[in-house]
Copies of this chain bind each other. A is one copy, B any other.
Amino acid sequence: MMKSNERQTAEGFLYTDMYQLTMAQLYYREGIHEQEALFDYFFRSYPDYGQHQAGYCIFAGLAWLLDWLEDLQIHPEEIAFLAGQKGSTGKPLFEPDFLAWLERAQPFSELTIRAVPEGRVVHPNVPIVVVEGPLLWAQILETSLLNHLNYQTLIATKASRMRDCGQERMLLEFGLRRGPDRGASAGGRAALIGGADFSSNVGLSKIMGLEPKGTHAHSMVQVFISSGGTELDAFKAYAEVYPDDCLLLVDTIDTLESGIPNAIKVFKELRQNGHKPVGIRLDSGDLAFLSLQARKMLDEAGFPDTIIVLSNQLDELVIWQIATQIQAEASSCHLDPDHVLDKLVYGVGTRLIASEGQPALDGVYKLVSIKQEGVWTPAIKISENPDKIINPGYKHVWRAYDNRGKATVDILSMEDENPGEMEKINLHHPTEHAVSRTLMRDEIERIEPLLETVWQDGKALIETPSLEEMRLNRLNDVSCLDPGVRRIINPHVYHISLTRKLWELKQGLVSSLS
C-alpha cells in the first residue's frame, strides 16, 4: 500500500493522465479554457466473457467519483511537481502564468454533471454521465471519471449476472485477496450494489454498513492436525467458541468420509446443548454432486435448516450449472430441489472481483458539443469503424417501457425534444442507415428520463444513495428487462435508438467531414 503521504499526491489532482494537463495549458494559451464544453461518458459494448456475454450492465461508482471531487484541492506540492516538468530542450513544459492560474482555481467547481443513478441498468452508446462546463476542467476530469466508473460498472454487472444465475439466492463476496490492490475496495462495493448480499472484507463492510461474513480456513484444521489433533478437534474447538454461529469447512481431508461426518458429530453436540448449527462450506470437488450428498447427510442427521456455502472459482456459468444440475437430479437422491437450492449460499471471489473473461469495460468520455456564442455546436469524431462515430450534441436520454411494463428501447434525443410528448416516435439505429422504426404512443406505457443532475456549483446535489436504494434500482430495472436480454449466453440485443432529428444531425456532421 502506498505510503499515506504519497497517497495525497498520487490520488488527488494529479490522478490523471499527463496529456490532460498539456491540453489544459494549450486551451489556456488559446483563451478557450473557459469555453463551455459537453462530454458524454458511455461504453461501446457489453462485456463479452468469451463463452458468454452480458445483455445489460449495472452502473456503479458515481458516489465515489463525487466524493473524490468534493475532497479535491490543488496543493502547492502538486503545482511544484508540474513546474519541475521539463521538455526536450530542458525548458519547463508548463509556464508560470498557467500554473499560477491553476493554483488559484477551484478545480471542477464550475462543472455540472448529470448522471444515471447507481444500480440502474445501462446500455451501450447511451450517455450514462454527461459533464458540462469549462473545457479545461471537463477535459482534465476524463481520466479520473473513467477510472472511477469503468471498474465498478464492470464488477456490478458481473455480480448481477451471478445473482441472476443463483436465482436471487444469497451471494457472498470473498474477492479481497485476489482483488487489484486497493481497487478491491471499489470492486467489493460494486459487488454489493450489483448482487452480493455481504462481503468478507471487514473494512469495506464497515463503511458500507454491513456485517462482514466468513467461516474459517483450512489452516485452522491444519493447525490442530499438525499439533497432533484431528479435524474433529478443530471443529469442536470452533463450535465451543462459536456455538450459535458454527459454520464448518469440511474439505480439508475428505468431504464425504471425514468432513461432513465430523461436522454432524459436532452439530449433534451443539443441539444437545441448545444451540442451532449454521451449516458447512464446500471449497473443492464437484460442488453440485457434493451439495446433494451433503444435503442428504445433513437432513438425515436432522439438520434440514443448515446451509451449505459453496466456494472455489464460482462464476455465473458455474452457479447456473450447479443450480440446473441440482434441479434435475435432486429427486433421484430423494431430495426436494427447492429445499436444496434454498439452503445454498454462493461465495464468489476471484472471478467476480477480476471480472473473469472480460477484465475491463470499454467506457469512454467523448467531447460531443462546444458552446459558441451561447449556442451549443455539436462536435463529431468520425472513424473508419461506424460504431466508433460518436452521437453528437447536447442530448437527452430516455427509456421507454411497453404495455407489459418491460423496457423496450433507450432513446437519445436532441435537447429540445421530448419523446414522451410525441404521438409517434421515429427511431433510427445509431449506425445502420437502413434500420429504423416508428413507435406509436399507444405501444408505450411510459417514457422516463434517465439522467439527473448530481453535481453543480462545486458540490454534490444528491445524498450518497444508500445501498438499499441502489440495490432496489437494480432489482426494479432487471425485472423490467425482457428475459432474453437477461439470458447469460447469447442474450437478445436491447434496442438503442436516436430520434430522427438527432440521426439527421449526425449524418449531416459526418458528411461535412468526409
Contact = CB atoms under 8 A, between A and B. Distances in A.
Interface in A198-212: 200-207, 211-212
A183 interface: yes
A258 to B, nearest CB: 10
Interface in A219-256: 219-220, 222-223, 225-228, 237-238, 240-242, 244-245, 252-253
A416 interface: no
Given A284-B384, A360-B356, A181 B187 contact: yes
Given A10-B185, A65-B1, A181-B64, A380 B17 contact: no
Interface in A20-62: 20-23, 25-27, 29-30, 32, 35, 37, 39, 50, 61
Identical chains bound together, number: 2
B202 A177 contact: no
Given A9-B206, A183-B181, A384 B17 contact: no
Given A4-B71, A26-B216, A360 B178 contact: yes
A218 B245 CA distance: 57
Interface stretch (A366-374, A439-447, A470-478): A366-374
Given A2-B67, A181-B152, A370 B219 contact: no
A71 B178 contact: no
Interface stretch (A81-89, A106-114, A499-507): A81-89
Contacts of A241: 22, 25-26, 29
A334 interface: no
Contacts of A399: none
A91 B242 CA distance: 10
Interface string A487-512: 00000000000000000000000000
A176 B35 CA distance: 27
Contacts of A25: 241
Nearest to A369: B226
Contacts of A182: 11, 181-183, 185-186
A410 interface: no
Interface in A372-394: 372, 377-385, 388
